[in-house]
Amino acid sequence: MKRYIGIKKAGKGKASKIRQRIIQHFAELNKLKGYLATRKPMVKGTVYEFRNRCGKKGCRCMRGELHTRMALSYSEQGRTRLRYLKPEQVRRYEWLTANYRRFRSARARLVRLTRGILSLVDELMEVMRDEEKTD
């Protein structure tokens, strides 16, 4: 009989811990709200320095000093595209692509948290079902 009571108490403690973890997950979800509800514009892609040779015989690029300019690399219909940026556009596009990366990161975190919550709810249901069987 004592063993039966011990199982029952352990189940209730486990349910409480699961509920606490669910509450923690919801608190983390609440923190993501700001990232996911943003109105900041964003652009998918990466800003980087593009280097190339022009091919002229007497040019410095033939000696290894490549020509450089900033570019936005992005994917469109499964193909990588380049858009060359003017010097005054570089900071803005770096900001726009950073906004996109932050948003995608928050979205990935949302998916992980949601899956975690669903898993915890299933676990809680099993524990509570087991408690009912022991009563």
**Which residue is it, tokens 């990935």?**
108
CB burial of 31-45 (b: ≥16 within 10 Å; e: otherwise) equals eeeebeeeeeebbeb
All residues at 6 or more sequence positions from 67 whose CB lies less than 8 Å from its CB, including other chains: 51, 52, 53, 54, 61
Per-residue pLDDT tens listing for the chain (135 residues): 333 333 344 456 888 999 999 999 999 999 998 888 989 999 999 999 999 888 888 888 888 889 999 999 999 999 999 999 999 999 999 999 999 999 999 999 999 999 999 999 999 999 888 766 665
Q: Is 127 exposed, middle or buried (0-12, 13-18, 19+ CB in 10 A)?
A: buried
- Contact of 100 with 35, CB cutoff 8 Å: no
Torsion of CA 55, 58, 61, 63, to 10 degrees: 120
Residue 65 corresponds to which amino acid?
E
pLDDT at 60: 87
**d(C-alpha 19, C-alpha 123), whole Å:** 10
Number of domains in the chain: 1
**Which residue is it, tokens 């990232």?**
35
Domain that residue 70 falls in: 2-134
Strands (E) located in the chain: 46-52, 67-76, 79-84
